[in-house]
Structure 1
Amino acid sequence: MTVISSNKDVERLTLTFVAEFDAPVDRVWQVWADPRKLERWWGPPTWPATFERFEFEPGGQVRYYMTGPGGEKSHGWWTITAIDAPHRIEFDDGFADDNGDPVDPKDITHGVVTLEPNGSGTRMTSVSTFISAEQLERMSAMGMEEGLRLAMEQIETVLKD
């Protein structure tokens, strides 16, 4: 069982996913902390990610792109805002141009991922907070909800290796 629930809350401007994995917290943490593992699941299966810059520390910059089925590329960036290994990561996330520079540094979402023991496994809660209801609806219309669900479903395979 991977994704067990998702919730779009327009009033709170959040999109929340809860997933469970049959692996301990420190092992699940590695799917975030290791860019090669992150590449194997960040983005839906038809849009795999490539991480070109990965500074996994508070204030660190992350640059990546996802490659679509026709070879098209969609670039993104993160700024890591907080890390409490192996239980919590926070980051600002946005669209980037072909050079990896933010397209609009104010058009961001803020992600908070928490990992907690759940029996012999781990429960991962991912909350994306948006700057407005319009942004939340625009990102939903672009397929963010389904894309995140499909991406997270790939984590179980990464954990088995």
Structure 2
Amino acid sequence: MNNSPFDFSLDRPTKTVTINMQFEAELSRVWDAFTKPEILDQWYAPKPFTSRTKNMNFEVGGQRFYAMVSPKGQERWALQTYTSINPKTNFKMFNAFADEAGNPEPTGSDWNLNFSEQNGITTVNISIYNESAERLEAVIDGFKAGMAMTFENLQKLLAGLSGK
């Protein structure tokens, strides 16, 4: 297993970002880390930011409304709407920034997350389609760096959960 938390690629013509990760953890632990708010809030933000879920209903049509909170308490809200769920193998969601009342911005991205396990190693493949090329270009550098820090948080959390 490589030490990098993830492989990241960008396909500009299709406006798609692909992230592939492997974790030394059981599938059920990794699935829970992506689908339970009390675990998401422990890792789903680049340091020094933290994640705070206001509400989450993990079912088709349900949503997670959460904020990335800066050390000074500034909040950047986002809304994830779940469009498909196949337990422990795949879920899809539409992700958009939002205001503090939960009103999403007009553009966002479609996320397709696939999970599999082999010999105690769980692989997560994420494909993120951005409907706006302009939005993609505006966020790509910060997104890549932020996701690297975020997935490092998850890697450390899972290592702690598994006792490694």
**TM-score, length basis structure 1:** 0.92
Whether the 8 Å contact between 1:2 and 1:21 is mirrored in structure 2 is no
* TM-score scaled by length of structure 2: 0.90
- Residue-pair matches, total: 158
Please point out which of 57, 60, 66 is paired with 2:59. 57
Describe how 1:124-143 pairs up with structure 2 within 5 A. Answer: 124-141=124-141, 143=142
* C-alpha displacement of 1:109: 0.2
Which residue of structure 2 aligns with residue 157 of structure 1? 156
Runs of 4 or more, structure 1, over 4 Å off, are: none
Give the alignment partner of residue 9 of structure 1, picking from 4, 8, 11: 11
Hey, what does 2:121 align to over in structure 1? Answer: 121
Q: Deviations over 1:67-119 (max 9, x none)?
A: 11222110000100011110111100001101122132xx0100111111133
| Match of residue 97, structure 2, among 95, 98, 101 | 95
Distance in 2 separating the partners of 1:131 and 1:103: 12
CA contact under 8 A between 1:2 and 1:156: conserved in structure 2? Answer: no
Unpaired segments of 5 or more residues in structure 2? Answer: none
Give aligned-pair identity as a percent.
Answer: 25
Consecutive unaligned residues of structure 1, counting only runs of 5 or more, are none
- Residues 128 and 156 of structure 1, relative CA distance in 2, 3 Å threshold: same
- Is the 8 Å Cα contact of residues 6 and 151 (structure 2) preserved in structure 1? no
Say if 2:6 and 2:148, in contact at 8 Å, map to a contact too: no
Alpha-carbon deviations, 1:51-78, whole Å to 9, x = none?
0110000100210001112221100001
Counterpart CA distance in 2 for 1:46 and 1:109 is 24
Partner amino acid for 2:147?
Answer: L
